[in-house]
Amino acid sequence: MHDVRGKTLKGEEIQLADACLNDVIDLTLLEMKAVWIRDTVILDDNHERYLDHLCERYGIGAAGDRPRGIGQLAKTISSLASKAWIPIDQDFGQVKMIYPVLLVYDVLIDTPVHTSFLASEFRNALEPDATLQDGTMRKGRFRIAPLTIMTIELLESLETSLKHFRLVGLLRDYTSSCPDRIVSLHNFIAASPQYRSKMYASKSVASTALETLTEAQQRLFPSSSVPISKD
């Protein structure tokens, strides 16, 4: 996974996505949004204001705004489908299926109503040529899965867990089981014996936490010789 660059037909270099995972016929495109919903908006009785704030935060702004987040994913896929944008250092020539993923820091966005609403907003922004019976969409030569919302915490867990299954397989099964995205990816994994038993804590996060705890122990109790357990 790495920053994905492309160019327009005029030769201008652009960013296609924050990261991608190219599995030849399956392409996962990822955009990250490190934003949070304001508490004042959450407590507001006007639900329309909340939905407008949600759209603004996650990339579906007013007409003329630079697309970000969801809007960037929709524009990138549309531009790839129309061949208006061409990838650099990536070969998407055999790609048939695209899985758009929005990475979020705010765990509130991982709740079912939010995942379904943002998936609907993504579909509207994409303006697909057709919506198929299984919930996937058609844009040019590509089939497009509904938008997947993934938290940074889940991504960190996948760092270790993906030794036991493939990300594209998880996204494929999630799309097959929950095309309306009423169930979040986190809850889908929690309810699935196939994936629940293969999820492990991130080794790098655990290692960093252990280093922090060890340093804290040394500063607070310099005479202690008992190491902090890794278990």
> Are residues 149 and 213 both part of a single domain?
no
Residue 161 lies in a domain: no
Residue 190's pLDDT is what? 93
142 and 31 within one domain? yes
Query: What's the structural domain count of the chain?
Result: 2
This prediction's pTM? 0.83
- 147 and 93 in a single domain? The answer is yes
- Give the model's pLDDT for residue 57: 85
Alpha helices in the chain (DSSP H): 39-42, 47-57, 70-82, 112-126, 152-161, 167-177, 185-191, 193-196, 203-220
Residues 44-81 have pLDDT tens digits of 677 788 888 888 888 776 555 677 889 999 999 999 99
Which one has a higher pLDDT value, 187 or 212?
187
Whether the Cβ atoms of residue 73 and residue 144 lie closer than 8 Å to each other: no
Same domain, yes or no, for 131 and 45? yes
pLDDT at 205: 47
Please report the pLDDT score of residue 59 as a whole number: 76
Which whole number is the average pLDDT over 183-190?
A: 94
Question: Do both 116 and 212 map to the same domain?
Answer: no
Residues 116 and 137 in one domain: yes
Q: Are residues 220 and 145 in the same domain?
A: no
Angle at 61 between CA 152 and CA 179, to 5 degrees: 55
Q: Are residues 85 and 115 in the same domain?
A: yes
Domain membership of residue 211 as a residue range = 201-231
- By residue count, the chain amounts to 231
| Domain presence at residue 162 | no
Q: Kindly state whether residues 136 and 231 are assigned to the same domain.
A: no
Whole-number percent of the chain with pLDDT over 90: 58
* Among the ranges given (73-77, 111-115, 118-122, 174-178), the one the predictor scored with the smallest mean pLDDT: 111-115
Whether the pLDDT of residue 163 is over 50: the answer is: yes
Same domain, 27 and 102: yes
